[in-house]
Structure 1
Amino acid sequence: MLVERRNIFLIGPMGAGKSTVGRQLAKQLSLLFFDSDQEIEIRTGANISWVFDVEGESGFRDREEKIINELTKKTGIVLATGGGSVLSSITRKNLSSRGLVVYLKTTIDKQLIRTKRDKRRPLLLQSLNDGFSTNDDSIRETLELLAKARNPLYEEIANITVSTDEQNVRFVVNKILVLCKKQNIL
């Protein structure tokens, strides 16, 4: 069990496996699991794409910042954050000061594979709509731009970094647990 029921926050790009790994990690540690995107959907009664369409990215990011602030005040949770949540300096501060931050790292190639048929990724859908294209090139270009802006922010606040590229969920969860124990976090 975590010392003082400390929190674990998962950060990383879309398609890294934050929600999937987070659910399993929480189960393994008998902690509550939250997904910031799901919380936004529950509270707005609409999916993320709709919130993006109506409020724009800045409106969505404001909601995300408030929800992550609220969730990170809880104790004994695993939280999967949205890929762009680290754009907020307030969110970065809250994540790094209120728990262990685990960066789930993945390559653009894996992101392309994992997000290919996902219709719930507003920034990818926008890249397709802007380019009037359905090919991987416009999506790859979007993912590369996002990575360039966000990867340094993930690295800035991460206590632990784990690659999810060639690993199954169980392996990633076990690797996180081992790294936590090495750092005397568990």
Structure 2
Amino acid sequence: MKDNYDNIVLIGMPGSGKTSIGRILAKKINMCFYDLDEYIERKSGKRITEIFAIYGERHFRTLESCAVKEISSKTNAVISTGGGVVLDSKNMHVLNKRGIIFFINRPVEDIANDIEISCRPLLANDRDNIYRLYKDRYELYKKCSDFEILNDRGILEAVKQIIEILNRNYA
């Protein structure tokens, strides 16, 4: 376990609640909030879906890696990542250097029933793909995280769990 940290990093599936949890958490513990996908959209001037459609996933992953380097150099930040950030071990190495990584694990059935999959490039209106992605990435999420938060009782409960872990281990 790390002795200290500069940032809190949230990883997990699309639709797991990373952005919602991150925004509330950052407010509650007085940290800045950065959403990696929003950051990429601002810098590129294009929506994530456009980047995938026009340039493809490989180009998006390059933009994502650049954004990881830029954002992880900040301090006192809660960083919500895209679901695929774990696919590049360099991304995780950079994020891990200065951050505590929380895997936001929301039951895949809840994600499948909840999210608007048409706006998620890799889900492409294919509910079965949510299950495939979860199966493919689950072990990576676990391996790359310092702590796992089961997000099955709502956003505020997940935030509370993170704060309790921080207080117990880093206060």
What TM-score range do you get, normalising by the shorter chain? Answer: over 0.9
- Runs of 4 or more, structure 1, over 4 Å off, are none
For the Cα contact (< 8 Å) 2:5–2:98, is it kept in 1? Answer: no
1:162 alignment counterpart: 149
Which one of 141, 162, 171 corresponds to residue 176 of structure 1?
Answer: 162
> Could you tell me how far 1:149 is from its partner in structure 2?
2.0
CA offsets 1:98-119 (integer angstroms, 9 cap, x no match): 110010001221111221x343
1:162 counterpart SS class = strand
1:32-181 map, 5 Å: 32-115=32-115, 117-125=116-124, 128=125, 138-139=126-127, 141-165=128-152, 167-181=153-167
2:130 counterpart SS class = helix
Q: Any stretches of 5+ residues in structure 1 without a counterpart?
A: 129-137
Percent of residue pairs identical = 31
Equivalents in 1 of 2:38, 2:119: separation in Å? 11
> Could you tell me how far 1:33 is from its partner in structure 2?
0.2
Equivalents in 1 of 2:80, 2:113: separation in Å? 20
Equivalents in 1 of 2:111, 2:88: separation in Å? 22
1:46 counterpart SS class = coil
Q: Which has the larger radius of gyration?
A: 1
CA offsets 1:2-50 (integer angstroms, 9 cap, x no match): x977200000001110000000000011110000000111111111100
Tell me the amino acid that sits aligned with residue 119 of structure 2.
R
TM-score (norm 1): 0.86
Equivalents in 2 of 1:94, 1:159: separation in Å? 14
1:135 alignment counterpart: none
Q: Any stretches of 5+ residues in structure 2 without a counterpart?
A: none
TM-score (norm 2): 0.93
